Amino acid sequence: MSDLFDLNFSPNADDASEKPDEQKTAAQTAQARIQELSEQITQHDKLYYVDAAPSISDAEYDKLFRELENLEEQYPQFLSSDSPTQKVGADTSAETTSPLTIADNFVNRPHFSPMLSIQDVFSDEELATFWQRWQKLSESESPQVTIEPKIDGVALNLIYEQGQLVQALTRGDGTSGDDVLANALTIACVPHSLKGTFIPSRVEVRGEVYMPNQAFHDWNQQREEAGLKLMANPRNATAGAIKLLDSAEVAQRPLSFKAHGFGVLEMGESPIITKTQWQTHDDFNLALRDWGFILNEPQWQATDLEGIQKAIAELNIQRHDFDMGTDGAVVKIADFALRESMGFTARSPRWALAFKYPPDQVETTIKAITIQVGRTGVLTPVAELEPVLVSGTVVSRATLHNQDEIDRKDIRLLDTVVIEKAGEIIPSVVRVCLDKRCHSSEKYCLFDAVNGCCPQCKQEIKQLEGQVAWRCINLSCPAQLSNRIIHFGSRKALDLEALGQAVAESLVKNDLVKHPLDLFTLDEEVLAELNLGDEDKARKLGAKQGTKLLNSLEKARNEQPLSRWVYALGIPQIGEVAAKELSRLHKNFAELMDSPILLELAQLKASDKKDQHPLLSDYQIAAELGPVSAQSLLSYLEREGELLLSQLAQFNIQATSNNYRPKGQTAGSEQGALAGLKFVITGTLSQPRDHFKDLIESHGGKTLSAVSTKVDYLLAGDNAGSKLDKAEKLGVKVLGEADLTQLLESN
């Protein structure tokens, strides 16, 4: 433990060789260090819990916290009730004790039972000490425990009364938190009401709100393409979303929730004795499933130290494939009666611990900084690294995002940097190792590095007002055009076969395509001879692949609906959901060009409510289509709309809506054959899953990604796998393609 101290004295007050004056000096030094650490940790707590903008890593924070804990243990005379070690999180409501006080414009309410933190351990030795303590407290050599992932998210306490969600409280100071109910209701994985046979009169269900890694990456990429400021990691993005005042904005962030515990549990007027309702953690998990929650999985059971260590090691390997951030393993006593007998400290339960994994961070060197040009013209700096192994893969590149990120971290050429993949699909630079920096290094300026010109087309770059990104404004830029073509043919857009990066780049290089719609001018002879290699080493596309592309273009011309065409154009701020909403509100591109709905949407202020607007209130417009996306679409149509309509007519592309129901999504959906029904699609079907997804949604149904008790049907093809197993376990009805057709006809 001594390596946790940053002190130049011996902490052993009983050392006979230490003189009284030296003992006094050591105590004074310790007192000063305790005060310093307390202030630092309190500030970091505020940054983490309140501002959602931590300035140090979890590992650095843990080191400070452990140092403070050890000093207070050795010098208990300096332990204060105000110490961060005696609190839970950050006290965001310290100035009031009223349960209805507005704190940061949220109502602050008390938890019915304290919402405590879990004691962290960092080594096998500390884990062994904890295990011995559990053996002693349980009077058993082999108490059963459960092991599950420690989600790197934001704790949320959901209060249900008579089965209905009535409050959603943040952790706060552990005794009370902010009520963010309106925001919690936008999270698809949070049940609005409990299902099942056992419904308590009141229960606190506790879990973690988080942003899945891939969803975070996609969302951050959209912000980058729009020139907006990026979020550092999924945890920050989640914490910021939970504290937004406009729940419509929260709904635009891809948040998820997993339940893992509970607080108070009541039936009638008096609390239930836990062990009479649930004997073990597994019993409680079954109740959570019945109620409609997604559990924190996978989970392990063990009855000895070796089994715990094995589970922790297995989790450490598996977690790199999870679509959620994890930084440790939570180990809990499984028996609820035993938990009650073990009790709590002021800060944490004695029956649980969190084994923290070493951070997946590695040092390497930036050899060069290259610039990528995206399909919307945004210039993204990328660090070319000395290859290094991170989280099981060799990393040689890391995104630097934009000039603001470079300035904030003071990143320079040839710097030694720490990189990580936690929460990022693409590795990123965490910080610079300043002690290893070359004294002659200079600050990096993206504008100067490219001489103020796009590295692809050599045209002027600009930083648009209110945006952090530098952008190439030349719509004919080869890099933009090739990326636009790739997006145009992507699976969620027009789903064009044989249209990969090499094909797109060759089409642009050979001046065969100047706009994605020019793909419809290509013929078999041109495509068969298209060279995907270079002049010295030709590599032709070939007739077979060329025919595939032409056939899929013909299919797109005749079958793809308006929503896919809108999404395929790659308009900034118009994602897949917004495109479907535009298709619901408009029959075709001609209606989009002259849309009063878009004009009114674009003029809304952040504080305005769509459901209270005299024109918009009848349309029940989804949160994903707001003022920013409407303005972006109008700007695009103003620039390219007339040319777009002309090209669509030239190539006989109808692009009509297959979900046109403008007068309210709910009202329209009620008329569909699958109205109100929720589906999950899995396995190999006769057509791509997106075909069935469109089919279901066009008839008023909704498609979800995960099987739960909320789901009405699982549409399963061959090799359905784990989703089929889970559906059968939860009693979700399984359909084949013929069953779906019959369901549509019968309704």
Pairing of strands 733-735, 713-716: parallel
Tell me which amino acid residue 709 is.
Answer: T
| Residue given tokens 């249900």 in the structure block | 160
For 693, the enclosing helix (H) or strand (E) is: helix 689-698
Handedness of CA 73, 76, 79, 81 (dihedral sign): positive
Tell me which amino acid residue 682 is.
Answer: T
Catalytically annotated residue among 19, 24, 136, 150: 150
CA gap 460, 471 in Å, rounded: 9
List C-alpha distances in Å: 189 to 244, 276, 292, 295.
19, 28, 8, 10
Q: What secondary structure does DSSP assign to 187-250, as a single string? A: -TTS-SB--SS---SEEEEEEEEE--HHHHHHHHHHHHHTTPPPPSSHHHHHHHHHT-S-HHHH
Are the C-beta atoms of residues 234 and 213 closer than 8 Å to each other?
yes
- Residue 91, phi-psi category: left (phi > 0), alpha (psi -120 to 50), beta (remainder): beta
- What are the structure tokens assigned to 630, written together? 């409407």
User: Residue 150 catalytic?
Assistant: yes
Are the C-beta atoms of residues 360 and 430 closer than 8 Å to each other?
no
CA gap 720, 22 in Å, rounded: 71
CA-based end-to-end distance of the chain: 69
- What are the structure tokens assigned to 94, written together? 């310290």
> 653 Cβ partners below 8 Å, 6+ apart?
517, 520, 557, 565, 647
- What are the structure tokens assigned to 182, written together? 């309106």
Are the C-beta atoms of residues 734 and 714 closer than 8 Å to each other?
yes
Pairing of strands 471-472, 678-682: unpaired
Q: 288-308 burial, b if ≥16 CB within 10 A, otherwise e?
A: bbbbbbbbbeebbebeebebb
CA gap 580, 574 in Å, rounded: 10
List C-alpha distances in Å: 61 to 42, 47, 241, 347, 624.
11, 12, 23, 17, 36
Are the C-beta atoms of residues 211 and 237 closer than 8 Å to each other?
yes
Are the C-beta atoms of residues 683 and 720 closer than 8 Å to each other?
yes
| Residue given tokens 């060197």 in the structure block | 365
Are the C-beta atoms of residues 265 and 203 closer than 8 Å to each other?
yes
Q: 413-433 burial, b if ≥16 CB within 10 A, otherwise e?
A: bebbbebbbbbbeebbbbbbe
> 537 Cβ partners below 8 Å, 6+ apart?
none
| Residue given tokens 């013209």 in the structure block | 377
CA gap 408, 431 in Å, rounded: 10
Which candidate, 413, 424, 407, 428, places its Cα nearest to that of 365?
Answer: 413
Q: Where are the alpha helices (DSSP H) in 262-349?
A: 274-277, 281-291, 305-318, 336-342
CA gap 727, 731 in Å, rounded: 6
Active-site positions? 150
